[in-house]
Amino acid sequence: MQLAAVLKDTKSKKEVEAHADELDAIAKEWPIVNIVKLQTLSDLPKAGSRTQAAKELASKQSDFEKIKGAMAGTSPKTFQAPAIKGDWREMADSWSFSAKVTCLTAISACQLQINDSYLRLLDSEGSLLVKTFVPETLDKGKLEASWSRNQGRLEVSGPKKVKSQEGLKKSIHVDSLD
């Protein structure tokens, strides 16, 4: 920011104009120099005659817009892989979920979200890694999750919901009336 302030200073204006070509070359590598171009646009003469300096400044502004557009295309992009579904296995009295997540090396920064309808694993940046439905008969309050770093595998298991004994007694009692 100090460089931009020095280049904007009216004392340095003649120096900036004298070395305009060099500054353009520097501006391609150091975008902060382009701030001077934006700030000096406000120094243009008002509507009326356009001097040669004003025309050059306007053309440099268009160069700045080109550089700005080119830089926008080079910003780093994160890769969002499709979410892994995994597999649920039903056993006599429990459910077990397994998903291979090879793109993940450590689970410490991840977040495992489980609600009534889905299970999701998010990485530290919030990208979705695993998404799957949750079986209705799974007791979500008693789930256990584990991570195998060697296999790159997420394991979630939990018991099935237990039918209430009171509801069972009612059905037996009603059946005995017949």
Indicate whether this model's pTM tops 0.75: no
Do residue 57 and residue 105 come from a single domain? no
β-pairing, 118-122 vs 87-90, is: unpaired
Residue 172 inside a domain? The answer is: no
Q: What pLDDT is stored for residue 72 in this prediction?
A: 56
pLDDT digits (tens, 9 = 90+) for 6-34: 666 777 777 777 777 777 777 777 666 56
Rounded Cα distance, 54 and 34, in Å: 16
Residue 131 lies in a domain: yes
Q: Out of 48, 72, 96, pick the residue that ends a domain.
A: 72
Between 110 and 74, residue with greater pLDDT? 110
- Pairing between β-strand 128-133 and β-strand 153-159 as defined by DSSP bridges: unpaired
Please, which residues bridge with residue 96 across strands?
89, 157
pLDDT of residue 128: 86
CA–CA gap between residue 86 and residue 89 (Å, rounded): 10
68: containing domain: 2-72
- Please report the pLDDT score of residue 140 as a whole number: 87
CATH code for the domain in which residue 146 is found: 2.60.40.790
Please give the residue that has the higher pLDDT: either 10 or 157. Answer: 157
Per-residue confidence (pLDDT) for residue 95, from 0 to 100:
93
Structural domain contains residue 13: yes
Please indicate, yes or no, if residue 176 is contained in any of the structural domains: no
Say which amino acid occupies 170. K
- 170 belongs to a structural domain: no
How do residues 42-95 score in pLDDT, each as one tens digit?
Answer: 554 555 455 666 677 667 676 666 666 666 554 444 445 566 778 899 999 999
Structural domains of the chain, count: 2
Across the chain, mean pLDDT equals: 72
